[in-house]
């Protein structure tokens, strides 16, 4: 009997303990909800406690940046322009923004629809009636509140992104006195441009944080903003999304399980350009710096460098690969909805959006590992294939030791990869079997490519710089280089033709931004913006071979084909002046486009129209950009 009582007492005690533990776990689960591989914060206080404990330095004051208040919107034209319906017929054929994924538009400071050019010029949205070129003129100039950065065009709707600052009066907990807090915000202004001479702002959306990047798929905009945590004493200001004067939406905030060194609020938002009253879908994430956005038609991927203390399973703590790695989150997107799906983690870091690509449901990724081991520095490159659950199913590592990736381009079941240290290897990598990627062939030539663009299934174009060995055994960077490669024999890629433009210091916007690259195979047209450093002989000098340099701003237009390589069709000059730095000139060409047989080259100062048949200048329209308004060396469009 005594034994039975003892057993019953022990059993009852176990039940009580289990109930207590179960209640604690239930409370924990109820307070901290998981969303896939992310964990949702239960309260603002929990976010504050987490950042104080885990963020490097405890707090970041990045959100306190002050700037003058935004100005009101106004139409600055002296007289109303004629209605758009009276304009001539639009071009039959015209170019659009050079994007990475077909059907996924990328925000830019310039768009066109074959008749009108919409351009951000300084603080102004200018709409040009650009076709026909002979009659081109500015129809309207609209002052934009804040500093405009990029825009989208969807039929007769225009979305303009602009950053600025705003003052918010907040009363910290335990205080009775409101205090002002200055926060960086991003505005998305939606305009009805049915009448191009008088655009009408129909909606304003506001996201706290800096504009980072955006995509347009159909009528839905997906945008990413970021903000360092803004503290008011011991209280944090959480990210907000606002539509007009409606109460602010404070999205749920999630964090990854893996600890990071630094944390930034990233808010992914989606809204329709047609629905002027719909509520945006938005979620906020505490992620790391160095973030990259890639979008397919069905998924949004956010990748960021993770240099926290966690290591890969089975990777020794002193390995460079353990400390240099990337976390990538996948979100399904459809008709303005953002749904989190999965997270993956791979060694190395991304170069840019072209390091990522989706194909047959899988994500392909190219990374570079840089770090230190007990033996010294370490550098090499990798390729990974992740399935829809973001599990790694294919691996190709240790490509080009002691070099890093300069350019990557996924085309179908191939990857073209450029690495560089002293010479430029172009690798052709086979991804037809996603579980077993492999190197098919490689080509080594002087120079390197910063951007790769497919010509057709068997040829690829590269834009970069020429290099040469100098007298000290190092590498000297020379002029701008354009190359055409034949990859029909994947085991033996060969150069078809190479063109080098200008002296050392020659630059092009296409080296940094693929949207500056214009190639249309059907028109046999390749246009590259060029800030060319030219050598000018100095015959009056007593020193033989003495010379000076001058800077030419414009664009080079080529025809290109595998049989003849590059053939110069002509150049379009925007300015030619004495010695100057090419990277901040208002005459430097940043974009080019065509409408029928007219080439439009665009600098900060003007739009020049050139006949593609004979190279004659048709017209030039000067933009409202004011150079003196931007004293910094990096003016914003």
Q: Considering only 514-518, 532-536, 592-596, which range has the smallest mean pLDDT?
A: 532-536
Least trusted range by pLDDT, from 71-85, 367-381, 447-461: 71-85
User: DSSP readout, 135-184?
Assistant: G-EEEEEEE-SSEEEEEEEETTEEEEEEEEEEEEEE--TT-SS-EEEEEE
- Structural domain of 505: 447-584
338 falls within a domain: yes
Maximal C-alpha separation, the chain: 120
Contact 595, 94 (CB under 8 A): yes
Query: 629: pLDDT confidence band, cut at 50, 70 and 90?
Result: very low
One domain, residues 456 and 438: no
Write out the DSSP string of 496-525.
Answer: EEEEEESSTT-B-GGGT-GGG-EEEGGGTE
437-445 mean pLDDT: 93
- The pLDDT value recorded for residue 536 is 81
| Domain boundary pick from 430, 445, 460 | 445
- Contact criterion met (CB below 8 Å) for 334 and 352: no
Contact criterion met (CB below 8 Å) for 439 and 419? no
23 found inside a domain: no
Q: What are the strands of the beta sheet with 376-386, ordered from one edge?
A: 356-359, 362-373, 376-386, 392-399
Whether residue 310 sits in one domain with residue 404: yes
Same domain, 354 and 438: yes
Assigned domain for 595 exists: no
Residue with tokens 């060969």: 494
Are 434 and 463 members of one domain? no
**pLDDT at position 373 over 90:** no
Instruction: Supply the pLDDT for residue 469.
Output: 80
Is the residue at 301 inside a domain?
yes
Average pLDDT over residues 431-443: 97
Query: What average pLDDT score do residues 114-132 get?
Result: 97
Torsion angle in degrees (nearest 10) through CA of 86, 89, 93, 95: -10
Whether residues 429 and 484 share a domain: the answer is no
| pLDDT tens-digit map of 140-199 | 999 999 999 999 999 999 999 999 998 877 776 677 778 788 899 999 999 999 999 999
CB 536 within 8 A of CB 549: yes
Q: Which residues share a beta bridge with 459? A: 456, 486
Q: Is residue 590 part of a domain?
A: no
Instruction: State which of 271, 299, 317 marks the end of a domain.
Output: 271
Residue with tokens 């655009």: 199
Whose tokens are 């790694």? That residue is 392
**415 and 452 within one domain:** no
The mean per-residue pLDDT over the stretch 401-425 comes to 91
Do residues 105 and 236 both lie within one domain? yes
DSSP 471: T
Q: Are residues 256 and 298 in contact, defined by beta-carbon separation less than 8 angstroms? A: no
Cβ within 8 Å of residue 496, ≥6 positions away = 459, 484, 485, 486, 562, 565
- End-to-end CA distance of the chain, in Å? 89
Q: pLDDT-based confidence at 544, cuts 50/70/90?
A: low
Closest by CA position to 126, among listed 199, 207, 227: 199
Q: Are residues 420 and 456 in the same domain?
A: no
Beta pairing, strands 253-256 & 281-287: parallel
454 in the same domain as 440: no
Decide: helix, strand or coil at residue 249: strand
- How far apart, in whole angstroms, are the C-alpha atoms of residue 206 and residue 344? 31
Q: How many domains does the chain have?
A: 3
Provide the token pair at 618. 């048709």
Extract the tokens encoding 291.
């973030």
pLDDT, tens only, 349-366: 999 999 999 999 999 999
363-383: average pLDDT: 91
Instruction: Evaluate whether residue 281 is within a structural domain.
Output: no
Kindly report the CATH number assigned to the domain that includes residue 481.
2.40.128
* Whether 465 and 318 share a structural domain: no
**More confidently predicted of 406 and 234:** 406
455 sits in which H/E element: strand 448-456
Residue 614 within a domain: no
User: Could you tell me if residue 9 is inside a domain?
Assistant: no
The average pLDDT across 25-46 equals: 68
Q: Are 134 and 249 in the same domain? A: yes
Residue at which a domain ends, from 241, 271, 301: 271
Residues 470 and 439 in one domain: no
């Amino acid at each position: 009997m005594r034994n039975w009582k003892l057993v019953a007492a022990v059993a009852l005690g176990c039940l009580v303990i289990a109930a207590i533990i179960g209640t604690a776990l239930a409370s924990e689960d109820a307070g901290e909800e998981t969303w896939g591989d992310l964990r949702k914060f239960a309260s603002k206080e929990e976010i504050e406690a987490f950042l104080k404990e885990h963020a490097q330095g405890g707090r970041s004051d990045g959100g306190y940046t002050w700037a003058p208040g935004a100005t009101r919107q106004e139409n600055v034209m002296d007289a109303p322009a004629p209605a758009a319906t009276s304009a001539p017929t639009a071009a039959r054929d015209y170019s659009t923004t050079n994007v990475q994924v077909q059907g996924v538009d990328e925000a830019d400071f310039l768009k066109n629809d074959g008749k009108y050019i919409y351009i951000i010029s300084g603080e102004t949205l200018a709409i040009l009636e650009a076709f026909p070129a002979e009659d081109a003129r500015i129809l309207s100039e609209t002052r934009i509140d804040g500093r405009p950065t990029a825009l989208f065009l969807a039929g007769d709707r225009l979305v303009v992104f602009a950053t600025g600052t705003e003052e918010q009066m907040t009363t910290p907990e335990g205080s009775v006195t409101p205090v002002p807090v200055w926060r960086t915000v991003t505005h998305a202004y939606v305009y009805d441009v049915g009448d191009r001479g008088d655009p009408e702002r129909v909606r304003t959306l506001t996201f706290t944080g800096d504009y980072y990047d955006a995509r347009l798929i159909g009528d839905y905009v997906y945008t990413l903003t970021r903000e360092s945590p803004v503290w008011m004493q011991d209280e944090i200001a959480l990210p907000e999304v606002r539509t007009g004067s409606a109460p602010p939406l404070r999205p749920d905030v999630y964090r990854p399980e893996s600890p990071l060194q630094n944390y930034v609020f990233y808010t992914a938002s989606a809204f329709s350009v047609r629905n002027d009253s719909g509520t945006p879908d938005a979620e906020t994430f505490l992620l790391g710096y160095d973030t990259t956005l890639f979008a397919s038609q069905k998924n949004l991927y956010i990748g960021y460098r993770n240099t926290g203390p966690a290591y890969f399973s089975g990777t020794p703590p002193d390995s460079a690969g353990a400390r240099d790695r990337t976390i990538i989150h996948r979100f399904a997107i459809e008709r303005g909805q953002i749904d989190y799906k999965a997270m993956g983690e791979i060694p190395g870091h991304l170069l840019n959006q072209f390091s990522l690509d989706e194909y047959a449901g899988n994500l392909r990724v190219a990374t570079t590992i840089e770090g230190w081991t007990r033996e010294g520095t370490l550098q090499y490159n990798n390729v990974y294939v992740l399935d829809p659950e973001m599990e790694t199913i294919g691996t190709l590592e240790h490509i080009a030791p002691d070099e890093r990736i300069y350019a990557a381009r996924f085309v179908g079941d191939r990857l073209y990869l450029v690495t560089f240290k002293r010479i430029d290897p172009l690798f052709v990598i086979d991804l037809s079997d996603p579980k077993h990627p492999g190197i098919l062939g490689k080509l080594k030539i002087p120079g390197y490519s910063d951007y790769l663009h497919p010509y057709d299934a068997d040829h690829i174009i590269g834009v970069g710089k020429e290099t040469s060995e100098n007298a000290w055994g190092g590498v000297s960077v020379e002029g701008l280089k354009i190359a055409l490669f034949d990859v029909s024999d994947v085991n033996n890629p060969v150069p078809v033709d190479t063109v080098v433009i200008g002296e050392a210091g020659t630059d092009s916007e296409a080296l940094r931004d693929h949207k500056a690259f214009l190639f249309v195979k059907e028109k046999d047209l390749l246009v590259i913006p060029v800030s060319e450093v030219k050598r000018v002989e100095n015959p009056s000098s007593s020193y033989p071979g003495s010379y000076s340099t001058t800077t030419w701003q414009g664009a080079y237009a080529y025809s290109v084909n595998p049989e003849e390589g590059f053939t110069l069709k002509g150049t379009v000059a925007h300015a030619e002046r004495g010695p100057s730095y090419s990277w901040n000139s208002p005459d430097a060409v940043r974009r080019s486009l065509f409408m029928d047989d007219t080439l439009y080259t665009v600098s900060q100062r003007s739009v020049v129209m050139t006949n593609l048949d004979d190279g004659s200048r048709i017209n030039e329209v000067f933009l409202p950009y004011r150079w003196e308004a931007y004293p910094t060396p990096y003016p914003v469009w």
